[in-house]
Every structure is written in structure tokens, then in C-alpha cells.
Amino acid sequence: MTVPVNLLPWREQLRQRHRRAFVRSLFATAALALAIVVLVAQHLREDIHEQQTNNALLRSELARVAASIQEIGRLQQRERDIAERLVVLQQLQEGRSNQARIFETVARAVPADVQLRALRGRGQSLEVAGIAVAHKAVAQLMRSLTSEGMRPSLHNIAAVAAEEAEMPAADAFLLTLEPAADAKAMAQPEWSE
């Protein structure tokens, strides 16, 4: 039997060196790949953490902005409410000043021989009931009211017994006063009987 003889032992040594170099390069490549994977994972974790921090900051800012928007909405509603109240107050003030002006006008325009018995406000108008010594006194009252910017409208005039009137021979009357809308209405009052 013949034993195989390796006549070239250096080939076997070369193969083992190549194999060891290959294993070393394989381990080095695996270590390098593992290091790259670890570094990439670390970088991704940092990016995720940074993004989560940014998201939390954005959420808090959005909540603050939403609260500000709600507060602005409440303030705008309050502003509208106040504006509505101001309009109502202005209307009341205008109505009050009109009624006050009507009462002042009536007080200035009443002649000495006229007694007013009742005054009733109806919106922009005023009903006046009274007693006069004569028709002439009622006419004088209406002329005075017209010159003061009122629009008197006579509804009823009738004779009253002396004991009811507390004057001799008196006439009871009922008229409605309204502020004159324009100069034409002041110049030509409505007369109705």
C-alpha cells in the first residue's frame, strides 16, 4: 500500500492561512455590520425620542392655542352680548328721552284754564285726558303742542257737569300726542273728532 505523500506541504499551509484570513475577515465584517446596526439603531432611537419630544411640545402648544381660541370665542360672544345690551340700553334711553321730552313739552304747553286728569304712555305716543274751560282752551293747547314739535290728535271732546269738573261749564277732552316725524307733520297736525 502506498501512502499518499503530500509533496507540497506549503499548499496545505497556504489553504489554512487563507481559511484563517477568511474567518478573520468574516468576523471583522460581522463585527463591523453589528457595529453599524447598533449605531443605526442608536441613531434611530435618538431620532424617535427627539420626534416624541417635538410631538409633546406640539401637543402642549396646540392645547394652549385651542384654549386661546376658546377664550377668544367666549370673548367674542361676550362682546356680542354687550353690544346687544348696549343697543337695548340705547333704545331704552332714546325711548326714555322721547317720553321725558313729551312730558316736558306737555307741561310747558298746558294753558292756565286746562286741567290734565290722566297721562298714559303708549310706545312713542302719549294719551292725554283733561278738562278745559272752553273749546278755545283745547285749541290753544293743541296749537302750543304743535309749535313744540308734537303732533296732537283730538279723539273726543264733550261737556261735563260742573260738580265733576271742579270748574264752571267745562269740556272733557282726550287727545293723543306723538313726536312730529318731520317739519310737514309739525306744520299740519292731524285733527280728528
Each residue's pLDDT tens digit, 23-47: 999 999 999 999 999 999 999 999 9
Least confident of 4-13, 150-159, 170-179: 4-13
What is the number of domains present in the chain? 2
> Which pLDDT band, with edges at 50, 70 and 90, does 85 fall under?
very high
Domain with residue 118: its CATH number is: 3.30.1360.100
What is the average pLDDT across 147-165?
73
Confidence at residue 134, expressed as pLDDT on a 0 to 100 scale: 82
Confidence at residue 100, expressed as pLDDT on a 0 to 100 scale: 72
How is residue 103 written as a grid cell? 312730558
Same structural domain for residues 139 and 157?
A: yes
CB 117 within 8 A of CB 131: yes
Same structural domain for residues 100 and 82?
A: yes
The answer to the question of residue 3 being in a domain is no
In angstroms, the CA 113 to CA 129 distance is: 14
Least confident of 11-20, 117-126, 128-137, 154-163: 154-163
Residue that has been written with the C-alpha cell 331704552 in this structure: 92
90-104 burial, b if ≥16 CB within 10 A, otherwise e? eeeeeeeebbeebee
- pLDDT digits over 56-66, tens only? 999 999 999 99
Residue that has been written with the C-alpha cell 307741561 in this structure: 107
Q: Is pLDDT above 60 for 193?
A: no
Domain that holds residue 35: 9-109
82: left (phi over 0), alpha (psi -120 to 50) or beta: alpha
Same structural domain for residues 49 and 85?
A: yes
Least confident of 83-92, 118-127, 139-148, 180-189: 180-189
How is residue 77 written as a grid cell? 360672544
The answer to the question of residue 2 being in a domain is no
The answer to the question of residue 164 being in a domain is yes
Same structural domain for residues 13 and 105?
A: yes
The answer to the question of residue 182 being in a domain is yes
The answer to the question of residue 76 being in a domain is yes
Sheet with 150-160, side-by-side order of all strands: 114-122, 125-132, 170-179, 150-160
Same structural domain for residues 22 and 51?
A: yes
Please identify, among 89, 109, 129, the residue that sits at the C-terminal boundary of a domain.
109
How many residues appear in the chain?
193
- Amino acid letter for position 25: S
Please identify, among 109, 135, 151, the residue that sits at the C-terminal boundary of a domain.
109
DSSP of 130-192: EEESSHHHHHHHHHHHHHTTEEEEEEEEEEE-HHHHTSSSEEEEEEEEEE-SSHHHHHS----
Same structural domain for residues 13 and 36?
A: yes
Q: Pick the residue with more confidence: 19 or 141?
A: 19
DSSP category for residue 5: -
